[in-house]
Structure formats: C-alpha cells, structure tokens
Amino acid sequence: MRGIPSLITDIRKNVFTEVAKMAYSGKGYEGVDELPYIIVPGDRPLHRESVFLERAIASERVRLAMGLNIRPIQTRHLMTEGMDAAAVAEQYYEPPLINIIPYACHACPTNQYKVSNYCQNCLAASCQKVCPKDAISFRNNRSYIDLDKCIRCGKCAKACPYNAIVHLQRPCQVACGMDAIVSDEQGKAVINQDKCVACGQCLVSCPFGAIVDKGQIFQVIQSVLQGDKVIAIVAPAFVGQFGKHSTPGRFVTAMKRLGFHRVVEVAIGADLCTIEEAKDFLEKVPQQQNYMATSCCPAWHSMIEKLYPGEMDKISMTLTPMVFTARLMKKEYPGCKVVFVGPCAAKKLEAIRADIRSDVDFVLTFEELQGMFEAKEIDFESLPESDVLNEGTATGRGFAVSGGVAGAVEKVIRETEPDTQVKTARAEGLRDCRKLMALAKAGKYNGYLLEGMACPGGCVAGAGTLLPVELAANVVSRYQKEADTESPLESAYRDRSESLD
C-alpha cells in the first residue's frame, strides 16, 4: 500500500499536520482536545460505523504522534494524561514504539482457506479429492471448507481449476518477518514486543491503519521555538519524497523555514561508515571471525540480537551513518540538537539506546516531516533554491537502496586492497534476513560480507516513506549521479572518523 494515496495516508498526514500546527502556535498543547474534531469533522463517519469511534481512534493517533502511550480502554483516562511530561523539548520515546490501537483493528482472518463465489460446483470436485482431512463438502451447490478440520495445507486451492479458493491471511502478520504479531481472545492483532524490532512493515501493511508508531514532531518544534540550534541530518532516501518540485536546494530552503539551523546529508556519515567497515572486514575476516555483517540497519541488528545472540560479535562495530553524522554535528556545533530525518521507524528505536541518545536528540520520518511542511504551508514550487547538499559521495548516497552498503564496502576494499577478493551476500526483508543468518551460522558464508535490510528494497522502502519503492529507488539513483565525488575515499570527512568513536 506504500505510495498509494488512501484515506489512511490522509488521516496520518492530518494528524501530523495538526500536531505540528499546535506546536508551532507556541501555546503548548492547549487545544489538543479539539484535534480529533478537526481530523474527523462533521457528524458522519468517514469509514467506520460511528463518528465517535473515529474520533476516539484519532485521539490515540494524536497521543502517539506526541510520543505518548495508548490509553487503556477499561478505565477512564483524559486525552491530556501524561502530556505535561511529553510537551517539552527533550523527550525520549517510551517503549513500545510500534502500537496497535485495539478498537481500530479489524480482527482480520488469520491463515484461512475460503471458497469464493467463483466455485462452479464442478463434477471433478478436485478440491475434495485432494483434501487429506476430508474437510471439504458440497453445500448449497458449492464447496464448503470445515475450518475445524482444515490443516491449511493449500492443496485444495492449487487443485481448483477456477482459482475459486482463496487464502486469507492477516496482512500485518504476513508483513512481520519476526512473527511478532499474534491474536488476542477477540481475534484482534497484538504485538509481542519481545520479538518486535520496530521495522514498521506491519504499519504500512495494515489496510485499516490500526498500527501506529510514536513520534516526536511536537518535541522537535518545541526545541526550535525555545531557540535551540536544531540541525537536521537527512537520510539519502529523502530525495523526491516531497513531490516533483522538492529539489535538494528547495528542500534545504523549506527546512530552514521550519526553523532548522542547518541541513546535512547523512551520506557523509555513510562514507565514513563505508571506510570503517572496509577496515573492519580486512582486519577481522577471516583472522578473527569467519564472516562480518554490516551494522547500518537497526532492525537487522536487533533481529540478530534477538534470534542469533551468539552471532552478535560478527556484526561490524562501526558506527551507523546516522551516528557518525550526528557526532560530526555535535562536535562542530557544541550544544546543538540533532534531528535524524529518514525513512525508518527502527531508527527511533536505535536513537533511544543509552549509548546513542546523547548523539541523536530526535528522529522524524519523511511522513512526519511532511506534516510539518503542511503546517507551515510550504509550497515547494514557489521556493528559491538554497545551497545544494553536495558533501556526500555517490557511493554514500547509495546506502538508501538494497545492496548499497555491501557494494560500497566492496568498492573501498577494491580501491585500497586491489588484490583482495570480497564475497558478499545480502537479504532484504526480515524473513530472508533470518534465512541468511541461519546459513551464516551454519558456516555457509565463511569469508563473506553480509548485508541485511529489514525493508524489501532497502531504506527507500522504510515505513516512513511517501513514494512507491521502485520510483524512490530510481530517484536516488539519479541523485547519486549528481554527486560531486564518487568514492568515500574522496570524502572531505574521511580523516575524522577516529575522533568520533
């Protein structure tokens, strides 16, 4: 559903926009109780059975956008509960990051085979013949599947000549590569937070918009309004996300109108990360370890920590591009606040780690930033061009797409050690990442550099993006070609990495 405008994307944009407007008003959270009525106007529901239910859901969306927890539905709680603590310029996320609003969940079917109206009541009755549990019979001139007997083998669906048997699965459950989504006693989806790595793929897969991540829009704007020097470090996938007129130069202009002091591309951190991971690989593989996994994707990192803890020492110890760039800014502008702007929900989880939170103060997704642009009525077409972001190399910008990290490290190794052969393997999507790690643990990738990306397609497919994945990848490819330099070894920052550890 990513990249396809819908009522869900409209509602999310409205929530982010209204929260940003409230923050920019300078009146704290005064008027927050009115936001559900602005987001859901009138007296008729847009898509649910009741306008009151829609407003109740909208109120939870507002709370989550401000970084607050969902209120329990069993007891009475004010919408403003906890906002005194959250409505400040320094507020970290309180887990859980990814949340399901219970009364927004549709309780979708989980792994069921159903006979559709396309059943022709044919004489062959192939579906019945192949069923190993005699779960299929004819009722009312069509096949019927007894779900109590059905073992979900799918043989009936394969045998039907009319494709009349459909496999119904819960979209969020299918999208979750960690198998972290289960059902409660009412059939509603529930996230097992012990398994969740906050990749956000469930969020963009739910057709009812019931899954929501927490945000820091309000806190970022509070920091700007109180006079902090707030610097936005922007992931390479930003290019093109805000419409055809949002050139990098106009993007910088727009960001400064939002109140940001400076805009820096995280590609410079990606360049440093590439150089350090290349060194790491050459030093450790195979002398100290039989393979090395890249460090950049936080959900991939968390997946290994949860499922393959014995392999954690195989992950490169190099800082991620986000942290490299943040530390550069903290060193250049002592006392500044750093906001990472990117496509990724999992970066929010990375930023609250004890060893990272002093480097990265806030995280915004592109979707959340779009709400801030809407709140300030930014029209990209009418904006003048500012200095174009040109400090990152083409290789660093390529981190945004699947294969970009491993390809970058391989490139630097070839340039520095031309006689060294580097074998790489990569996976995108957490299910495939799990398979890759299982094979690595079994010794199938000895001597390899492994790249894992939680989102199919790479960072351009993150949960906080606005464009269709293929289009976003193409735009990033063009942006790479516009870079002044090609190799991370040409980066003006290449000698600064050691001082940032």
Q: List, for residues 57-69, the tens digit of each pLDDT value.
A: 999 999 999 999 9
Supply the pLDDT for residue 354. 84
Same fold for the domain at 112-168 and the one at 219-500? no
Interval 74-128: pLDDT, tens: 889 999 999 998 877 776 677 899 999 999 999 999 999 999 999 999 999 999 9
Domain boundaries, the chain: 7-104+179-218, 112-168, 219-500
Instruction: Round to whole Å and give the CA distance between 102 and 109.
Output: 15
DSSP 3-state percent helix, strand, coil across the chain (nearest 5):
40, 10, 45
Output the CA–CA distances (angstroms, integers) from residue 403 to 235, 355, 426, 483, in the order listed: 16, 27, 7, 19
- For residue 369, what pLDDT is reported? 98
d(CA 312, CA 359): 23
Q: How far is CA 185 from the centre of its chain?
A: 29
Instruction: Say if residues 249 and 387 touch (Cβ distance below 8 Å).
Output: yes
Query: Please, which residues bridge with residue 143 across strands?
Result: 138
Hey, which residues does 448 pair with through a beta bridge?
423
Which residue is associated with the tokens 């199919």? 456
Q: How far does CA 51 lie from the centroid of its chain?
A: 30
What is the per-residue pLDDT for 2? 67
The token pair that represents 357 in the structure block? 């939170």
Per DSSP, 310 falls in state: G
| Residue 286 CB neighbour total at 10 angstroms | 11
Answer whether the bond into residue 248 is a cis peptide, omega within 30°. no
pTM across the whole model: 0.95
- The phi and psi torsions of 136 (rounded to 5 degrees) equal -115, 130
What does each C-alpha distance from 226 to 82, 88, 376, 435 come to in angstroms? 21, 10, 18, 48
DSSP-derived letter for residue 343 is: S
Q: Are 41 and 84 in contact (CB under 8 A)?
A: no
Q: Distance between CA atoms of 376 and 303, rounded to whole angstroms?
A: 38
Chain-centroid distance, C-alpha 60:
20
Q: Is 401 left (phi over 0), alpha (psi -120 to 50) or beta?
A: beta
- Cβ 451 vs Cβ 294: under 8 Å: yes
pLDDT score recorded for residue 43: 93
State the Cα–Cα distance between residues 469 and 429, nearest whole angstrom.
Answer: 13
What distance in Å separates the CA atoms of residue 35 and residue 20, rounded to the nearest whole number?
11
Taking Cα atoms as reference points, which of 127, 286, 102 lies closest to residue 187? 102
Q: Domain spanning 112-168: which CATH class is it, in words?
A: alpha beta
The CATH architecture annotation of domain 219-500 reads 3-Layer(aba) Sandwich (3.40)
User: Per the structure block, which two tokens stand in for 198?
Assistant: 């906050």
Return the pLDDT at 87. Answer: 77
5: Cβ contacts below 8 Å, ≥ 6 apart: none
Q: Check residue 483 and give its pLDDT.
A: 95
Determine how many CB atoms are found less than 10 A away from the CB of residue 144. 14
Tokens 């060193």 label which residue?
Answer: 331
Beta strand segments in 43-124, E: 98-100, 112-115
- What SS3 string covers 220-280? HHHHHHCCCCEEEEECHHHCCCCCCCCCHHHHHHHHHHHCCCEEEECHHHHHHHHHHHHHH
Among 301, 378, 386, residue whose Cα is nearest residue 344 = 301
How many H-runs (helices) and E-runs (strands) does the chain carry?
A: 19, 15
Q: Which residues of the chain have pLDDT under 70?
A: 1-2, 91-92
> Exposed, middle or buried, 124 (CB in 10 Å: 0-12/13-18/19+)?
exposed
Q: Are 369 and 263 in contact (CB under 8 A)?
A: no
> 25 — phi, psi (to 5°)?
-65, -20
The partner residues of 233 in beta bridges, in order of sequence, read 264, 340
Beta bridge partner(s), residue 230:
337
pLDDT given for residue 91 in this prediction: 65
Q: What is the DSSP string of 350-415?
A: HHTSTTTTTT--EEEEHHHHHHHHHHTT--GGGPPP-PPP--S-HHHHGGGSTTHHHHHHHHHHHH
